[in-house]
Structure 1
Amino acid sequence: MPENAPWEYTLYIPNDLRAVTVARRTLRLILTMHGLIRLTDTAELLAAELVSNAVRHTKGPAALRVRRSAGVLRIGAWGADPEPPEPPGELNAMRDVGEGPGLALVKACADLWG
């Protein structure tokens, strides 16, 4: 496959917190296979937070999608809940009110949130 050719993978996962580990390991293998090892740490953090939210806050199955096109890596997760989560506030503000940092970490590490 040419280096700049677009690609996409989707991993369907059950509503089980153990799926977070499976998603992280699968993502690491995909990125390594495509020569993007330098992105794995941040990508794994993003994927773990997104998948754990999808699994924790919905009752049905979830999925992780990893896509690269035009030099941009996109990571997304979704669960059975049709309503998307509210975008987080600032990380420090979330700590002050006792909320977990999950989606605030995604916001801090991702180039775009949406």
Structure 2
Amino acid sequence: MRTVSPPDTWTYALRLPHDPRAARVARVTVRSVLDSHGRSEVLDAVELLTSELVTNAYRHTNGPASLRLTALDDGRLRVGLWDSHPRVPAPFGSPPRDRVPLAPVDGEGGRGLRLVQEYADCWGGRSLGDGMLDRGAGKLLWFEVGG
């Protein structure tokens, strides 16, 4: 009799309050989870991109966010972030994906979503509604790395 091992898949979810420390909490959580699963090859990229998405959620919404890390059975890692604002920013819109322009050299922001374009293997997003009539208001942005 042969034993079949299940794929090394797992999921972690984290609810983040609307708090300026949320990006740090997300980074520490991502580092801990990926270290514990031996996924150091994607650690830096996932930590950076997660931090950028959580920071944008904090800056552009007034509510909480939810982070989900999922190891897929083909070796890829998917990171999803829900927040309460329904607008899906470039580059997460429908194909063909909008390109995010380079941020001004002397600008204080505007680099986060460009980093997603550069470091993620694929990404996407969708609006879940504006919250007026929909119970699932907000949006879901995701990216994948590795594999």
TM-score (norm 2): 0.68
Matched, 1:73 2:77: yes
Structural mapping, 1:20-99, within 5 Å: 20-70=23-73, 71-87=75-91, 89-90=99-100, 93-95=102-104, 98=107
| Structure 1 range deviating more: 82-91 or 104-113 | 82-91
Cα RMSD over matched residues? 2.1
**Which structure is higher in helix share?**
1
Q: Compare relative contact order (CA 8 Å, sep 6+) and give the higher one, 1 or 2.
A: 1
Q: Deviations over 1:28-73 (max 9, x none)?
A: 0000111112211111001000111111111110011110112110
Identity %: 45
Provide the rounded CA distance (Å) in 2 between the counterparts of 1:72 and 1:102.
21
Matched pairs, number: 112
In structure 2, the CA distance between the partners of 1:80 and 1:35, relative to structure 1 (3 Å rule), is: same
**Which structure is higher in strand share?**
2
After the TM superposition, list the runs of 4 or more consecutive aligned residues in structure 1 that deviate by more than 4 angstroms. 96-99
Ranges in structure 2 where 5+ consecutive residues have no aligned partner: 92-97, 125-147
Provide the rounded CA distance (Å) in 2 between the counterparts of 1:37 and 1:21.
18
Once the two structures are TM-superposed, the CA of residue 78 in structure 1 deviates from its matched residue by 1.9
Once the two structures are TM-superposed, the CA of residue 17 in structure 1 deviates from its matched residue by 1.7
TM-score (norm 1): 0.86
